[in-house]
Amino acid sequence: MTSLAQFAAEMDEPTRRVVMEMSTFNDFPVPYLRDFARDIDLPVAECRRIVLSLKEKGITGYGPLYSPDGLCVGSSYWLTELGIELRELVRAQTGAKADKVASA
């Protein structure tokens, strides 16, 4: 994989939107992919393609979601620590405001 800074600089706009808006594992609640896609105004299929591509690079993760009571309520995707680092690089490169606060 290219360097993270280079990848950040070369991301297309839909991928950048996904990285900038996606939740981290520690955010609650982490939305389901279809809800996340709707929230950022991307078709679900395109959002899924982007998220899976980012997962191959270790930028997103996938797994179970739990309620505050500890019950498994489904599964979804979130930014990994590498993804949070990528988001910070994008912010630095673009001067974007911190609309998501990394909990990790």
From first to last of the 104 residues of the chain, give the pLDDT tens digit.
579 989 998 999 999 999 999 998 888 788 999 999 999 999 999 999 999 999 999 999 999 988 888 899 889 999 999 999 999 999 998 886 655 444 43
Q: What is the pTM for the complete model shown?
A: 0.83
Looking at residue 33, which CATH number applies to its domain?
1.10.10.10
Supply 86's token pair.
Answer: 């990528």
Residue 12 domain boundaries: 4-94
Q: What pLDDT was estimated at residue 66?
A: 84
Q: What pLDDT was estimated at residue 99?
A: 54
Q: Which residues contact 10 (CB under 8 A, 6 or more apart)?
A: 2
| Count of structural domains within the chain | 1
**56 inside domain:** yes
The H-assigned helical ranges of 1-104 are: 4-10, 13-21, 33-39, 44-56, 81-94
Q: What pLDDT was estimated at residue 104?
A: 38
**60 inside domain:** yes
